[in-house]
């Protein structure tokens, strides 16, 4: 069996071509889709940099002749909201003061809920979870009036604490679901091992389960941070005048009407308001996708 078989010559490695027609088509579609969604942002930015007369020329996509960055400064510090002419900076700081504690608190509560529901199975745990999920499907507008009534009864309606509490409550269903699904994918054996090692409810949560859920923590934080920052209705209804978040201030600024409408200032204020969620998405998009994907595969 020593006959030589003539093997075919070595096949050439296929070359990868960067630009095939279908590839160009794909890119063209992606770029136009991206442009479509970026268009409003573009209009906002250019309008905010125009002067008043320039805006009234009504060339929506036109580039400002000389970018007026002082519009932003004005919106921030001197624009008038009814009689108060200190811009929307107060709203910004109100939002910061609200968003950080509300995010931390609601995320921790969600994680705690998810952890308790998936590992410390109590008799009514599943029932509680079902009710909580049901809560996610009830339009929240339905709950506004009862909440207002209760808070007034409790004597803290229109205070900082009422708006903080509202955000924690309404974050609960989604955050609990998020963390529960993550923890359910973790083998019970891990929890059992920790029990044998003597870990109690809090120790297992704080030293083991919370650090393990880092991707979920990131996702939940992003969700809450942007959600609470962008909230308008709860802020208007529950925060009270002194604690109005930036979105409410922005609305008041835009709706303040005396004399001519100053669209460029409105736009500048709008950009300032949306800067925080924009930045969050911009810097954490990768984490966000990773966390969602991890949840999708495992949950």
* Binding stretches for other proteins (CB under 8 A): 187, 189-190, 192-199, 203, 207-208, 211-212
Cα torsion 147, 149, 153, 156 to 10°: value is: 50
CB of 284 to other proteins, least distance (A): 21
For other proteins, give the closer residue by CB, 79 or 107: 107
Query: Other C-beta atoms within 10 Å of 125: how many?
Result: 16
For other proteins, give the closer residue by CB, 240 or 299: 299
Nearest to 144 by CA among 250, 231, 220, 241: 231
For other proteins, give the closer residue by CB, 215 or 227: 215
For the chain, how many helices (H) and strands (E)?
A: 14, 0
For other proteins, give the closer residue by CB, 8 or 211: 211
For other proteins, give the closer residue by CB, 150 or 201: 201
Length of the chain: 299
For tokens 């509300």, name the residue. 102
CB of 191 to other proteins, least distance (A): 8
For other proteins, give the closer residue by CB, 20 or 207: 207
**Three-class secondary structure of residue 170 per DSSP:** helix
CB of 198 to other proteins, least distance (A): 4
CB of 88 to other proteins, least distance (A): 42
CB of 290 to other proteins, least distance (A): 16
Query: DSSP assignment of 155-178, as one string?
Result: T-TTSHHHHHHHHHHHHHHHHHHH
CB of 203 to other proteins, least distance (A): 6
First to last CA, the chain: 57
The rounded distance, in Å, linking the Cα atoms of 294 and 183 is: 12
Sign of torsion, CA 101 102 104 105?
Answer: positive
């Amino acid at each position: 069996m020593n006959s030589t078989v003539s093997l075919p010559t070595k096949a050439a490695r296929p070359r990868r071509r960067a630009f095939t027609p279908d590839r160009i088509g794909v890119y063209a579609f992606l770029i136009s889709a991206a442009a479509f969604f970026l268009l409003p942002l573009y209009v906002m930015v250019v309008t905010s940099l125009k002067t008043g007369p320039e805006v009234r020329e009504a060339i929506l996509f036109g580039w400002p002749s000389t970018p007026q960055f002082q519009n932003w400064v004005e919106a921030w510090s001197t624009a008038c909201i009814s009689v108060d002419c200190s811009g929307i900076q107060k709203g910004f700081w109100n939002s910061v003061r609200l968003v950080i504690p509300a995010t931390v608190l609601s995320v921790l509560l969600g994680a705690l809920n998810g952890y308790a529901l998936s590992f410390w199975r109590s008799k009514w745990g599943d029932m509680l979870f079902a009710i909580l999920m049901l809560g996610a499907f009830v339009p929240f507008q339905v709950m506004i009036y009862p909440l207002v009534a209760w808070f007034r009864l409790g004597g803290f309606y229109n205070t900082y604490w009422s708006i903080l509490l509202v955000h924690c409550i309404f974050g609960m269903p989604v955050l609990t679901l998020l963390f529960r699904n993550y923890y359910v994918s973790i083998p019970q054996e891990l929890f059992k091992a920790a029990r044998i090692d003597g870990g109690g409810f809090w120790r297992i949560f704080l030293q083991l389960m919370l650090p393990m859920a880092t991707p979920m923590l990131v996702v939940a934080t992003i969700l809450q941070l942007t959600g609470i920052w962008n909230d308008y209705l709860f802020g208007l209804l529950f925060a009270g005048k002194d604690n109005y978040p930036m979105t409410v201030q922005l609305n008041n600024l835009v709706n303040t009407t005396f004399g001519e409408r100053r669209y460029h200032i409105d736009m500048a204020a709008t950009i300032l308001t949306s800067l925080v969620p924009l930045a969050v998405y911009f810097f954490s998009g990768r984490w966000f996708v990773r966390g969602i994907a991890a949840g999708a595969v495992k949950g």
